[in-house]
Structure 1
């Protein structure tokens, strides 16, 4: 019996009048919004309707009857399959206009704020700009990118956004897998070995390769190294990353260097940075320098200010501002990133920057309690934006200026409303295109309170006199658990952590240490977990 062929949706003629947040064209059919993949503003298209929902319709441009002057023939053979690029069918100038409009629309519609985006700073080179490639792997082997809105891997020999070195190393890894019958990971069953191929590159033409696997090792490690080294003369290291969890997370929780060095050096804004595999680092160095210059411009540094850098990562923003500031204090929740930040400060001879480990909200509250009143607070949060308590604590510290660097216009708009309600009003906004040809865009916003309230008392303090180790003595249970998991692969409970802390004289709340009834038996922390927790407490400077 033949399978019934899936019916195609109706074909309608529509005029595109704008863009959605993911780069699709926007049209209207009988008053209902239609998102049109492949449409350009001003065009009339014959649109095939793929999905009709209650509040919106989704379709694709099957034929362009009145093309825009901004339309281009896509120069990538994978464009219709791969979900990475959204704007390769249009001129770059139109892409920039669409992104600028998106930021303004989000601020106006979600935030209800009248804040024009002064300009969008486009890239001089919108191709081959990415310094990091992450290729998912599936049976075949196929190594490439996911088809749009799916986890089906499209085998991609080269990507015009990635470096040529990344393409060569991807091809070499595929050849090694085929030659030695190395299996690919299957998300559905949790079986198979190779999950992702990861490549970092720098401006000096060097590259670092990491193979992410569902296991503690791979067969034919020496053959892998040899294959990669022959394919790429600029290779400086080969790393194995371990992720044995049944999830779709890319990076591992343990790393082992198979050959060479397990890190890559790069330069940004005249400074030198050391990058390990899990280090966060902006993927477009040329545009990152433009972004950071704009952030520094909004900070209005004259040489004597104290700058608090929340979500500081490996210290890139704070360290680039340190040369124009009196002091920089950076906070980051990832312990390894904090250590990298400290090393980066030392490497670049920057003596007026300090970094410590802590959640952004917790860090800001601790600093406020210590009497810190920064002149400028810079935040660069992940896509989910700022938690409400972080907004409140930042505002309560009373800085003259807040510089908000955002990678998501929607959460940016939401947070601007929260700041506005607390008296910090957005003054200026600039969009920066760090991700040409994709739907993503960065924005930097300046917020200020206006005139300083003369009734406020300014607290002076010396960084040299501040005990920075005190911040790490409040490492959260979550941070301790994460450290233990990363270092040993063991999962530990809050109860076990409390028992070990009590052993070392760290006072705990009673409910962690006492059973609910007098007759209840309380499990004791096993020796191997006690050793792992003890190591974590030492790492955070708690014992």
Structure 2
């Protein structure tokens, strides 16, 4: 046993010299990385260790010896307990620089790109900017947000990031549950009724409220509707979402309207959009306009060119690109979102856009059958980034430019490296602060093809390409990259397989099974098991 290693709960004086991807400060102790909750770059702090791993340490600020000029009062009673915000202890300028460093580091270290990221495009409003709230509910009832790295619900009366309408509607649901003894959902026992309270608002001050429930209906339905209507004068509709799955999925399998309308409309970039409950729509419309303007700028589209917008959702980026392109094709796998996209184009009178209900492979096949070769491909994937087959599909289409909109610098860096291997070089990047006070940041990258003599040709059998399964799960390398990016730990494929098997998500025989029944196989250490489980949760696998 190594008695020289630091012990949990021990206190050490450390210098904070950077930031981790989750907003924590980064320090060094005896050659090991220490992730310090609440630390700011340049500070000397007394840090109490909360977890000792094999190759990294975690701690929290116990006392500040030399405070940073950027340190501020969080002005939120839940800060440090609720997992929503990570940067309320520093001023906004320092937050933006922390995010810029994170994006640049991911593109350089994971993407292998020599790039300098300019100052992050910051927001004019850093509070009350979110147009969508998803409050988890647990027995009590407690309605709020998860404590950091747990599924323990912190009861939050008011969140400074959410609209005041969301606060009023949350309060009304809680009072209705208390009055009529409506049970909150218990994840462990899979019992109880109300799982989430969902509120979407638009720029005109109208709101849509949806209850996601573990059942086919709710008791005291008329009382619920009356309570919500009384609490929020701008309420447009009340929707019930059915979610009886034994998973962490938030949204429902089916929806029905209890009162009013089941959608909102909103204006973005001069276009009107219809938003149903499951529709993807950026939560900060002011910054979304900044983000999409940058994507349009990077696309360099001209009137004679064709663009393909993958993961187009309800068509927001597609309609923006259509203002410059000769033709835009949008592809999305969610049928309801495609219906919304078609309607949104009709509302705006835009005729040079078409939408396909298809994944990347199917979109490529259908466009190829029609003789369409896009000059620009734009992607705005979920946090897990692009499956490797999707990168191959895009390269096979041979667009001259790829515009990549990303909400996760880690998976963006990984995909930039994949594109580079196929002849697409990162030309420039811009970061947009879509989520002030949180560790999340959006990035837009322009990747362009090398000249015709240098680029790599890919022979891809479109008839055999099926990305459905590939997009549902992360590869072992993706899990390794995520763990390294977010915890500083290196994990083996064997350890990942062990954790997947323990979680019940491995359906094949362990490929690292010992040849002898008596052979001893290394077992995944607890700190790496925890980090792998966080990665599996991040990729929606558990």
TM-score where L is the length of structure 2: 0.82
Distance 2:449 2:416 in 1: 13
Is contact 1:27–1:35 with CA below 8 Å preserved after alignment?
A: yes
**Cα deviations by residue, 1:199-232 (Å, 9 ceiling, x for unpaired):** 0000000000000100111111000010011110
For residues 343-362 of structure 1, give each alpha carbon's deviation from its aligned partner in whole angstroms, at most 9, with x where no partner exists. Answer: 11111111110001111133
1:133-282 correspondence runs (5 A)? 133-282=133-282
C-alpha separation between the residues in 2 aligned to 1:87 and 1:388?
A: 33
| Larger gyration radius, structure 1 or structure 2 | 1
| Deviation larger for 57-66 or 357-366 | 357-366
Q: What is the rounded CA distance, in whole Å, between the counterparts of 1:251 and 1:309 in structure 2?
A: 24
Aligned length: 457
> Relative to 1, partners in 2 of residues 1:78 and 1:241: Cα closer, same or farther, differing over 3 Å?
same
Distance (Å, rounded) in 2 between the aligned partners of 1:170 and 1:38: 29
RMSD: 2.0
Aligned to 1:339: 339
Q: Which residue of 2 aligns with 1:114?
A: 114
CA distance in 2, matches of 1:196, 1:390: 32
Shift of 1:55: 0.6
Question: Residue 301 of structure 1 aligns to a residue in which SS?
Answer: coil
Q: Following the alignment from structure 1 to structure 2, what is the Cα–Cα distance between the partners of residues 134 and 454?
A: 48
- Counterparts of 2:145 and 2:423, CA distance in 1: 44
The CA deviation string for residues 426-455 of structure 1, in whole angstroms up to 9 with x for no partner, is 101000010111111110001112445699
How far apart are the structure 2 equivalents of 1:136 and 1:314? 25
Deviations 1:53-77 (A, max 9, x none): 1010000001111000000011000
- Cα distance in 1, alignment partners of residues 122 and 236 from structure 2: 32
| Contact map agreement 2:360 2:467 (CA 8 A) in 1 | no
The answer for unaligned runs of 5 or more in structure 2 is: 1-6, 457-461, 470-542
Secondary structure of the structure 2 residue equivalent to 1:145: strand
Q: CA deviation at 1:129?
A: 0.5
CA displacement at 1:422 relative to structure 2: 1.3
Give a deviation string over 1:298-337, Cα, whole Å, max 9, x none: 0112222111101111111011111211110011111111
Partner SS, residue 229 of structure 1: helix
Consecutive unaligned residues of structure 1, counting only runs of 5 or more, are: 1-6, 457-470, 479-543
* Post-superposition offset of 1:248: 1.9
Taking structure 1 as reference, are residues 55 and 299 closer, same or farther at Cα in structure 2, changes over 3 Å only? same
8 Å contact from structure 1 (residues 364, 390) kept in 2: no
Partner SS for 2:223:
helix
CA distance in 1, matches of 2:76, 2:305: 48
1:130 is displaced (CA, Å) by 0.3
Paired with 1:140 and 1:224, the residues of 2 have a C-alpha distance of: 18
Tell me if the contact between 2:44 and 2:64 (Cα under 8 Å) persists in the aligned partners: yes
Structure 1 residues 455, 241: closer, same or farther in 2, change over 3 A?
A: closer
**Residues 270-318 of structure 1, C-alpha deviations (whole Å, 9 max, x = no match):** 0000000000001000000000000000011222211110111111101
Deviations 1:27-77 (A, max 9, x none): 000110000000000000000001111010000001111000000011000
Determine the C-alpha separation between the residues in 2 that align with 1:163 and 1:477. 36
Structure-2 separation of matches of 1:69 and 1:409: 27
Cα distance in 2 between the residues matched to 1:423 and 1:245:
42
Pairing 1:53-64 to 2, within 5 Å after superposition:
53-64=53-64
